[in-house]
Structure 1
């Protein structure tokens, strides 16, 4: 298969799992994904992860990491800034039933998140010794991401979805409904990312892991933290059913870390067969 090289249209990391993304013009891609991606996670008092599936107001939280300082802001509440604790006592945390460890980030962050969510919460950080192996065709590692370290979607795939949404009488949706790390423009055909098995991107190389199976988070308006109805899942179900569910976008492992910048060329070095 041949397709013209694409380019990076956007880079987004999500420092706190489930919270708003941080767009950047350039970032270092580490073995665990873009710098700071899912390095922090909101948990309940038992250490079980919180996500937008049950707490859609997480979408309102704007995190910012500046060296050893983490800032959190959201509408209607005073922002806070806390020193990042990388050396404190470890506590057990649960992510989709899998046991990991986290370093608690203190009472100030916990009280702020508890007030915003209306549920007692704590904030934890991935410890330096975090040693997670992700699944898929190409294994990798990640912080507190759902699975693989890199989630990639092309603009062509979203354009096709929005055409179908419009045909169904629904409103077109922004890319942030899908919370990708890397957005690719320049591929003329939709879902080229499904077929790519090895990608050279900036200074880095990615290896295909699996399709991204979508959940109810895609139905939450990322601007106001509210559930917005059945779309896009209803329309995606008409043409994007995979063995494991409704697929949109692709997950990759990091074969070679490196620097990425918006505008970098994206070249597919190896192709595979479609799974849908």
Structure 2
């Protein structure tokens, strides 16, 4: 267990845990999640691709936000407005498929024609030309997709279909600060789903997650160590309302006023990408204590 006799600069708690089984679709809030070397179990294990095998996201298809996954009896169940539920066995995979996520081309498995038709029927009618016919891919667990060695300090860390790193850490205080800045302009508060975190920390000041060192989490099995390694530069996805899939510039405009990050050459950031250093196979749970020291780069 964590040695509580040694003072830590920061003590926080895990307030929320989220996974996003299908990249860019809605997330699932969990009370506990298994930590693996690629992040949380089943996070970004599936991905929607076009006819060339290139990934698609809410950037091109905002209605992906309306696809809600859940787990039931060994199945991934997908629901979307106006669609019958799609049931996929968690261990199902059909033919091999080569796919691309950003600059990485990796081996995956096609999930079959029924899944392809379901995604094409829901997303295709409003999709740009070239994105009318879609397929669902599953990450090949034998593949090791490396995170950027530049940001991990040369340490090998792996992820599945996440943009670049296995975990994203935010805090409830950072979201509260954003909402406090939105209010004077008459904007309704937004919730953290727009930022697609895996771990939401409580007990911090706003954006303390930007500057803490390795986080030691006391689990039932021992100690998990998670390190934040790269500020998360934000694309337009946080502007998309996860309830309606309608975009508005309010969130991005607000962040531009105070979150231009010199570490990322002035890009707007919110939250920190992170990797699991220790504790694969342990379970993270809401309410667990997180201890860390300040990082002075």
Q: Please, what TM-score do these two structures have when normalized by structure 2?
A: 0.86
For residues 85-124 of structure 1, the aligned pairs below 5 Å read: 88-118=94-124, 119-124=132-137
* Structure 1 residue aligned with 2:142: 129
Q: Is the Cα contact below 8 Å between 1:156 and 1:185 reproduced in 2?
A: yes
Q: Is the Cα contact below 8 Å between 1:41 and 1:124 reproduced in 2?
A: yes
Q: Is the Cα contact below 8 Å between 2:167 and 2:198 reproduced in 1?
A: yes
Q: Is the Cα contact below 8 Å between 1:7 and 1:185 reproduced in 2?
A: yes
Q: What is the CA-CA distance between 1:168 and the residue it aligns to?
A: 3.3
* Structure 1 residue aligned with 2:256: 237
* Structure 1 residue aligned with 2:246: 226
Q: Is the Cα contact below 8 Å between 1:85 and 1:105 reproduced in 2?
A: no
Residue of structure 2 aligned with 1:23, choices 22, 29, 35: 29
Q: Give the SS at the match of 1:128.
A: coil
Q: Is the Cα contact below 8 Å between 1:72 and 1:80 reproduced in 2?
A: yes
Q: Is the Cα contact below 8 Å between 2:16 and 2:286 reproduced in 1?
A: yes
Q: 212-221 or 94-103, which moves further after superposition?
A: 94-103
Which of structure 1's runs of 4+ aligned residues deviate more than 3 A? 1-4, 65-68, 84-89
For 1:70 and 1:156, locate their aligned partners in 2 and report how far apart those are by CA, in whole Å.
Answer: 32
Q: Is the Cα contact below 8 Å between 1:15 and 1:65 reproduced in 2?
A: no
Q: Is the Cα contact below 8 Å between 1:202 and 1:259 reproduced in 2?
A: no
Unaligned runs of at least 5 residues, structure 1: none
For residues 175-214 of structure 1, the aligned pairs below 5 Å read: 175-187=192-204, 189-203=205-219, 204-214=224-234
Q: Give the SS at the match of 2:179.
A: helix
* Structure 1 residue aligned with 2:127: none
* Structure 2 residue aligned with 1:259: 283
Q: Give the SS at the match of 1:5.
A: strand
Q: Give the SS at the match of 2:238.
A: helix
For 1:205 and 1:97, locate their aligned partners in 2 and report how far apart those are by CA, in whole Å.
Answer: 28
Q: Give the SS at the match of 2:52.
A: coil
Q: Give the SS at the match of 1:6.
A: strand
Q: What is the CA-CA distance between 1:272 and the residue it aligns to?
A: 1.5
For 1:211 and 1:151, locate their aligned partners in 2 and report how far apart those are by CA, in whole Å.
Answer: 9
Report the RMSD for the aligned CA atoms in angstroms: 1.8
Unaligned runs of at least 5 residues, structure 2: 1-6, 125-131
Q: What is the CA-CA distance between 1:186 and the residue it aligns to?
A: 1.2
**Number of equivalent positions:** 271
- Considering fraction of residues, name the structure with more strand: 1
* Structure 2 residue aligned with 1:174: 191
Give a deviation string over 1:53-100, Cα, whole Å, max 9, x none: 000111111112446522111111111112345564321101113211
Q: 17-26 or 160-169, which moves further after superposition?
A: 160-169
For 2:27 and 2:218, locate their aligned partners in 1 and report how far apart those are by CA, in whole Å.
Answer: 21
For residues 128-147 of structure 1, the aligned pairs below 5 Å read: 128-135=141-148, 136-138=151-153, 139=155, 140-147=157-164
* Structure 2 residue aligned with 1:63: 69
* Structure 2 residue aligned with 1:154: 171
Q: Is the Cα contact below 8 Å between 1:177 and 1:219 reproduced in 2?
A: yes
Q: Is the Cα contact below 8 Å between 1:162 and 1:172 reproduced in 2?
A: yes
* Structure 2 residue aligned with 1:51: 57
